[in-house]
Chains A and B, each alone.
Chain A
Amino acid sequence: MLSSQIKSNEIVFGSCNKDLLEEIIFYGIGLGADFVEIFIENTDNSSVLAEEDFITSVSPSFGKGAGIRIFKGKKDGFVSTNDLTKHGLMRSVSQAIEMLDITDNKRELFNGLNKHRDYSLSKKKWINEVPSIHEISEKLLVSTKSLKKNNKIITRKGSYSRNLQEVIIASSDGTYVSDIRLHQTVGLNVIASDAQYRSSGSRRFGSSGMPNEFRLWDHEKAANDVFESSMNMLYADYVDAGQMPVVLANKFGGVIFHEACGHLLETTQIERGTTPFENKLNEKIAHESVTAIDEGISEGSFGSLSVDDEGMEPEKSVLIEDGILKKFISDRAGELRTGHKRTGSGRRQNYSFAAASRMRNTYIAKGEHSKEDLINSISEGLYCKSMGGGSVGATGQFNFAVEEGYLIKNGKLSSPVKGATLIGEAKEVMPKISMCGNDLELAPGFCGSISGSVNVTVGQPHIKVDSITVGGR
C-alpha cells in the first residue's frame, strides 16, 4: 500500500513529494471523485518603482498555496488553501467532495503517479542569476533620468517586477510535473504638459525564463520611444468620430485580435454560449489574408511555458488558417465539456484560481505587404501606432483605446490625434482585415479573465481594417 510509504506530512519544495501526493489523490478517488488535480506553488516576487530620480517603492513578497480540483462528471469543485500539510490538503479534498455532493459508490482507477517530469532542473539557478534589487534600482534610475529630455516632461516613472513561481502539478491521470517559471517586466511612463495640453506615453517590455533579460534591456531606446510618443501627442486634437479604414501597427496592435477574436476562441466561451464561432469550425470567419496562431513555445516570450498549469506541454495551435477557423484554445474542463482537445492552454494566475483555457503568445501571421503599402491604400483614415487596453463584452462587442494615433490623408500619415477608441464585433471586423504587413512583432501584456491575470504576448504585423467605428468627439 502506498499509504504505508509516507515519509513527509507536508509538501516540501525541492524534495520528492510523490508519496504524499499519491495519498491525497487516492483519498479523493476513494471518496468517489472522477478526477483529482493538485496544483501547488511557491512564489518569490519583487517589484521596484522609480519616480523622477528616486526609488520610491521596493516590494518583495513570498508565499505558498495549493489549489485542489475535483471533477465528478462535468461538474468540478475547487478549493484553495495556504495549508500545505497532509491534514490541510486532505481537508481541502474533503471540502471539494462535499461541495460536489458525491454519494455514488463508483470508484475510478488510480494507478499512482507517472515518472516525475521535472522541468525545473535547469532553472533552479535562476533565483541567483536574476538582478539584485540594487542592480535593478540603479538601472531604473538611469532609465528615468533618460526620460528627462525637456521641461515639458512633468512625470517620469520606471517600474520593474519579477515573479518566480515554483509549481508542482499532480493528478489522478498520473500527471506528476514540477517547473519553475520566471517572468520579468519593466515599464517606462511619462506625462508631458504645456499650458492646457497634456499627454502621456508608456511602454512595457517583458520576458519569460530569461534571468539576464533585464540587464540587456535597451533603456535608452525605450526612453526615446516613450518621450517621442508623448511629445507627438501633446498638442494633438481630438479625433472626429465615425466609420473609417484603419491601419493598426505591429507589436501591441495585436491586442485587437486578442480581445476581438482570441477570447471568443477559448472553450470557456463555448461553455458559456457566448461565442459566435461555436459552430464555425472549418468555416470562413475572417478575410483570407488572416492566419492566426496561439502558442506557448517561443523562447523567452512573455506567454511561453514549458508546461501548462494542468501539466501538459504547450502546443502551437493554428487557430485560423487563411480565414478558416481551425481550432479552439482548450483546457481540461474545456475538453470535458465541449469535446475540443486540450492545447496546453490551461492557465491560472496562482493557486487560488482553477485553470481555464487562456491564450499564451497569440498573433496574426505575417503577410506580404509593407507598412507603406497599407497606408498608401487609404485616402482618409486612422493609423493607430500605439494601442491602450481593451475589453470584450458578453455579446462579443469589443473596444480598445488608441494611445497614439495619426490621421491618414491621401495615403500619407498626417497630424496626430487623441481620444480615439476602436469599437466593433469580432465576426464583423475579422472579414475586414484585408491586408497584412510583413513586419510581425510581438509585445508582452497581462490578460485578466476567469482564472485571473496571466502573462501573454500579443502580436501582429501592420494590418489594415477596411472599416471600423472610431469613437471620438
Chain B
Amino acid sequence: MNSREITTQISKAADFLNLKKWDYGASFSNDYSVQVDKGEAKQLKASQKQILTIRVWNQSNLVGITTTSDISESGIKKALKQANIASDFGNKNESTEFSPLAKDPIKVKEVKKRIPVGIKKLLTVLREAEVKLLESHESIKSVPYNGLSESFFERVYANSEGAFRSYSKSQAALYLYARAEEKNKKPRSSGSVKLGYGADDIDIESCIKEASNKTISHLNYSSIKTDKYLICFSPESFLTIINAFSSMFNARSIIDGVSLSNKNSIGEKLSTEALNIYDDGLHEKNISSTPFDGEGTPTKRLCLINRGRIENFIHSESTARIFKTTPTGHAGLGSKVSVSPDWIVVEKSEKNFDLKTSLDHSTYEGEFVYIEELNAIHAGVRASQGSFSLPFDGWLYKNGKKISIESATVAGDIKYLLKNIVNIESSQEVTTSGISPHIWVDELSITGDA
C-alpha cells in the first residue's frame, strides 16, 4: 500500500469502527550499510521497515494510540481497535487536538533525487577509505569503528479532517574511528562523521583526513592537573552541551517540571548579549531536515536566545495551547507528545562589545583547554538540575604548545557556563547536529589524573 492507500484504508476502517476523529504518522524506509575490517567485508546489512502510529479520539475526546509494523488491512484494523481501547486511559488532565497548522503549506527543500548506489559500491568505497586511513600514519593500526550507510525513506502525516502531507528523501553517512598504538603508550582513538544526501555526496577524503589528523593529534598525551581552566569549546562540543540542556527551551519539559526554566522565563538573561541561538530545522546545511513534525506542523526557524535572553520555547500542539501560543513544529507523535529541537544554530549577535576577541583558538598563546568532543552524555548530564560532569577529548594549550589530555572530565552547571562565556568566535562550523562557532568559557572545573 502507498501512503494515499493507507490513508483510505484507515478512513474506511475508522468508519467501520465508528471512530470519527483520528490521525496517523507513518514512515517507510530502505536502509543499506556496510562495515569492514582490514579490507574484508565485516557485516553487510539491508533492511526494509515500515512503522505506523495511529491516534484515535473517543467520544469523551480522550486520545488513544497504537504503533505497529503490520500495515496490512487486518493490521490497520487491529491498530485502530487497540488505540480505541487505549483511549479509555487517555490523559484527562491535558487534552490533545490536531495541530491548527496541520494544513498550512510546508517548505520542502529542493534536493536532487538520489538512487541507491548499492551494497557493492558502498563496500568498495569503505574499503578504500579504510586503506587510506590506515596508510595515513604508521601509528594507525586499525579502524575498529567504521561504517557507510544510505537510507531512503518516506514520512507521512494525515488526519480525519483532510490534512495529508508526505515527503521522501535520502541520507547517507560515513563514520571512521581510527585506533593508534605506539610502543609503551596507551592506544588513542578518534574519528570523523560525514553526512550527505546520497553516498556519492559524502566528502570521503575530508572524513579520512579529519579522522587521521584527530587521531594522530592525540598520540602525545599527558594527564592534566585537577583545577579550573579557561575552556575553548569546539563547535561540536558546544552544540552537544546546548542539545543536552535543550529542556531549558522545551515547553513540554517546563510543564513536566524537569526544566531549569518555567513559564515566566521568557526574557530571562542567561548569557552575554553577544549570544544568539536558533533552532532551524530547515537550514540549508541540515541534511536531516524534515518539513513537518509528528503532528503535521510545518518546521520553521525559531529564535531561542536573543542577545543572551530566552526568546521562545519549542512547542507541540498541546503545550502551545497551554502557553497560549502556536505550535512551533517540534512535536513527536505519541500518547504523550514529546517535544525536541531540530538543528541548533549558534551565532554571535551584533551586540558583542563585551567579548574578549583576543581569544581565538588558532592564535591565542595563553593557557587554555580545548574541548574537541564530549562523551557519555547520557551518564553525565543532569538536565533537570543543570549540572554536568563529562569525559572529553581535547588538548591543553600551554606555552605555545598543545598536548592531548588523557582521561579527564569537565564539570559544571549550564547556567554558570552560559553566564561565563567570554568569547564567541566569528567563524561558524557545520556539524552533524547544527552550526556553531568556537565558544570560550572562563573557569570550568577539570578533573585529571595528574
Contacts and interface: CB of A to CB of B under 8 A. Distances in A.
Given A55-B89, A59-B67, A472-B389, A395 B188 contact: yes
A48 B86 CA distance: 10
B179 A57 contact: no
B290 interface: no
B48 A98 contact: no
Interface in B387-411: 387, 389-391, 407-409, 411
Contacts, number: 219
A388 B379 CA distance: 6
Contacts of B258: 155, 191
A423 B67 contact: no
Interface string A272-307: 111000000000000000000000000000000000
Interface in A381-399: 388-391, 393-397, 399
B74 to A, nearest CB: 11
A399 B391 contact: yes
A397 B94 CA distance: 45
A175 B409 CA distance: 48
A77 B69 contact: no
B196 interface: no
A420 to B, nearest CB: 7
Given A200-B384, A399-B380, A421-B391, A273 B375 contact: no
Contacts of B65: 58-60
A259 to B, nearest CB: 9
Interface in A60-91: 60-65, 74-83
B64 A58 contact: yes
B434 to A, nearest CB: 22
Say what secondary structure dominates the interface of chain A. Answer: strand
Given A75-B44, A133-B89, A242-B226, A51 B256 contact: yes
B356 interface: no
B91 A391 contact: no
B445 A99 contact: no
A149 interface: no
B336 interface: yes
A96 B389 contact: no
Interface residues of B, number: 73
A198 B144 contact: no
Nearest to A242: B226
A137 interface: yes
A57 B82 contact: no
Q: Which of A49, A65, A82 counts the most chain B CB atoms within 10 A?
A: A82
Interface in B51-91: 64-71, 78-79, 82-83, 85-86, 89-91
B168 interface: no
B43 interface: yes
Interface string B375-389: 110111010111101
A388 B384 CA distance: 15
B187 interface: yes
Nearest to B336: A57
B387 to A, nearest CB: 6
A321 B407 CA distance: 29
A274 B66 contact: no
A277 B46 CA distance: 32
Nearest to B186: A395
A352 B86 CA distance: 27
B350 interface: no
A473 interface: yes
A254 B49 CA distance: 36
Interface string B175-203: 00101000000111100000000000000
8 contacts: A55-B91, A56-B91, A60-B66, A63-B67, A63-B70, A82-B48, A191-B384, A425-B407
Interface of B: 37, 40-50, 64-71, 78-79, 82-83, 85-86, 89-94, 119-120, 141-142, 144-145, 177, 179, 186-189, 226, 256-258, 334-336, 375-376, 378-380, 382, 384-387, 389-391, 407-409, 411-412, 445, 447-449
Q: Which 3 A-B pairs have the closest CB atoms?
A: A63-B69, A471-B409, A241-B447
